[in-house]
């Protein structure tokens, strides 16, 4: 923090283990109240110092340098994220790390080109007045990050926050400390002023997470993660009437109509169910398939699921990584057992794959597909966050819309049909933040992204991110 790498004042540390084999990767210093106090002080000093005096153009130029330095150290970021998550190298090299770097350039450009409003206002004396708005930084932003795409999802918040002139205190997940720490080296290397980017590692309750979210010197908190944690963060900030931005849980539905491009729909389902070992907030855990193609769809997805290959993330033929931790594996396997107890028909998977050598000790589970469960079953209602899905048939449009909306979550959906009128009609009726038609995970980063119901508060992306990281100040000039 404040441009320096420091240990924990309390001396407390926690273990970080590799998901692929449960080997000890290292010990991480656990921040507490003292570290959060120091980070807040450093961030506030930066806002009052050279960072606060920089122009938009100067900040944007620095963010371009940050992106370029991440790219220069590309191999270091790939290695760190692979060690922390165990996910295949190809996914890190072609998606997660490049997007993490690109976020800085994207928001550097957005902030330079965003407009505000201006009005000419009549006055009784006839001279008039001019009202115009300016954007000012919100202040010190607490950024609490998830472990499933660490750099990408962290920079999705840090980049717009810095572009707008704020200072940040990042609390990465304890499961993925690597790339947040590397980013601190990058910030120093390119000359970002001290105190602008601070990282405090730690846990949640009675640790860095709790002390950050309840600190009176933090002006806003942005969080991506589990819904219950979001509720706790909201309560912690209530006394300060603090702004929050949340992207929370999901139980996303895929709607597959009989007139779809079948092969493309299967390809999409393989990705949306099993990518990142199912640890994707936008992933699909519920699939509804129109009855005429139901059996064919289930059989085809079974073949593709069984073709996924777990293994060393360095190997080119590895297509499935592990879950993030032994603790998370226990959770996912508990749902596998619940599905069995609730009477599911197991199409494939349902257990732990057999791997050789050290990998046998990793956090692996089998890609799993079920059918035959009632909509009230726990694996249909509750977010699992693993490589699994339940597939159910439907008979008409009204029925599948009702099924898709019968959830407390509302993050995303996928709709597969060649009928354009139906696509527009159904997409408008699904209660989610984003509805994909004949695609999945296709994003224009200028568009609004977020969830409805218990899947979140607020929107991120393009100018929508700026709405959270700035305050609009109206200036009224009497002419």
What is the set of active-site residues?
A: 247, 281
Buried/exposed code over 270-297 (b: 16+ C-beta within 10 A; e: otherwise): bbbbbbbbbbbbbbbbbbbbbeebbeeb
Tell me how far apart the alpha carbons of residues 269 and 287 are, in angstroms, rounded to a whole number. Answer: 8
Q: How far, CA to CA in Å, does 127 sit from each of 119, 121, 124, 133? A: 14, 9, 8, 20
Tell me how far apart the alpha carbons of residues 105 and 60 are, in angstroms, rounded to a whole number. Answer: 8
Tell me how far apart the alpha carbons of residues 7 and 30 are, in angstroms, rounded to a whole number. Answer: 8
Greatest CA span in the chain, whole angstroms? 86
Whether residue 3 contacts residue 195, with contact meaning beta carbons closer than 8 Å, is answered with yes
Tell me how far apart the alpha carbons of residues 138 and 329 are, in angstroms, rounded to a whole number. Answer: 39
Sequence-distant (6+) residues with CB within 8 A of 24 are 15, 16, 17, 18
Sequence-distant (6+) residues with CB within 8 A of 421 are none
């Amino acid at each position: 923090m404040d441009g320096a790498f420091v240990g924990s004042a309390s001396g407390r540390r926690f273990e970080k283990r590799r998901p692929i084999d449960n080997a000890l990767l290292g010990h991480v210093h656990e921040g507490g109240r003292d570290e959060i106090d120091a980070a807040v002080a450093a961030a506030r000093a930066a806002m009052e110092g050279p960072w606060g005096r920089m122009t938009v153009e100067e900040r944007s130029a620095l963010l371009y340098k940050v992106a370029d330095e991440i790219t220069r150290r590309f191999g270091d970021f790939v290695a760190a994220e692979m060690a922390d998550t165990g996910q295949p190298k190809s996914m890190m090299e072609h998606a997660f790390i490049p997007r993490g770097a690109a976020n800085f350039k994207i928001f550097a450009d957005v902030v330079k080109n965003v407009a505000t409003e201006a009005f000419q206002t009549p006055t009784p004396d006839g001279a008039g007045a001019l009202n115009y708005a300016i954007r000012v930084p919100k202040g010190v932003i607490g950024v609490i990050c998830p472990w499933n795409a660490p750099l990408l999802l962290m920079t999705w918040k840090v980049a717009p926050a810095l572009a707008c002139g704020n200072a940040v205190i990042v609390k990465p997940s304890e499961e993925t400390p690597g790339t947040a720490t590397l980013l601190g080296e990058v910030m120093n290397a390119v000359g970002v002023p001290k105190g602008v980017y601070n990282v405090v590692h730690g846990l949640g309750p009675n640790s860095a997470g709790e002390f950050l979210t309840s600190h009176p010197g933090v002006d806003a908190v942005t969080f991506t993660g589990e819904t219950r944690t979001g509720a706790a963060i909201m309560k912690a900030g209530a006394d300060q009437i603090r702004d929050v931005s949340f992207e929370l849980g999901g139980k996303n539905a895929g709607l597959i109509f009989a007139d779809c491009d079948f092969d493309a729909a299967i390809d999409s389902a393989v990705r949306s169910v099993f990518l990142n070992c199912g640890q994707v907030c936008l992933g699909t855990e519920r699939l509804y398939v129109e009855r005429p193609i139901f059996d064919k769809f289930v059989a085809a997805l079974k073949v593709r699921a069984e073709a996924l290959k777990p293994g060393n993330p360095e190997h080119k033929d590895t297509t499935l990584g592990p879950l993030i931790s032994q603790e998370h594996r226990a959770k996912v396997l508990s749902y596998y057992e619940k599905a069995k107890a609730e009477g599911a028909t197991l199409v494939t998977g349902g257990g732990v794959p057999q791997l050789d050598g050290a990998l046998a000790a990793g956090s692996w589970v089998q890609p799993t597909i079920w059918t035959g469960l009632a909509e009230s079953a726990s694996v249909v209602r509750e977010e699992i966050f693993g490589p699994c899905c339940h597939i159910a048939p439907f008979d008409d449009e009204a029925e599948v819309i009702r099924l898709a909306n019968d959830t407390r979550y509302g993050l995303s959906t996928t709709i597969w049909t060649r009928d354009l009128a139906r696509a527009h009609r159904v997409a408008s009726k699904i209660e989610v933040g984003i509805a994909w038609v004949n695609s999945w995970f296709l994003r224009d980063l200028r568009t609004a992204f977020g969830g409805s119901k218990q899947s979140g508060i607020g929107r991120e992306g393009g100018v929508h991110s700026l709405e959270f990281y700035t305050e609009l100040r109206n200036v009224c000039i009497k002419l």
